[in-house]
Amino acid sequence: TGAVSEVAGIAVRSPYRRQGLAGAITAAITRRLFTTGVEIAWLEASGEKSWRVYERVGYRPAGQRLYIAMD
């Protein structure tokens, strides 16, 4: 109950980009998570390009994270 999992580390080498691979990989991983009992899957996009891929798969913004560094 309440199982949460992060989807992370999705990357496609430059020559193979813009062919739908990142979306297909993300969708397959997400489907597998939900079939194994995960109730919430989340991820952090590295930028606008990757966020567009994740939105096409069905991810939606749900919050923001604040990073703070101290000297």
Contacts of 14 (CB under 8 A, 6+ apart): none
Q: Which pLDDT score, from 0 to 100, does residue 26 have?
A: 95
Q: Which pLDDT score, from 0 to 100, does residue 15 have?
A: 95
Q: Which pLDDT score, from 0 to 100, does residue 63 have?
A: 82
Instruction: Spell out the per-residue pLDDT of the chain, length 71, in tens.
Output: 579 999 998 999 999 999 999 999 999 999 999 999 999 999 988 888 889 999 999 999 888 888 899 98
CA dist 48 and 67 (Å) reads 18
User: What is the phi/psi pair of residue 42, to 5°?
Assistant: -135, 160
Pull the structure tokens for residue 5. Answer: 């999992």
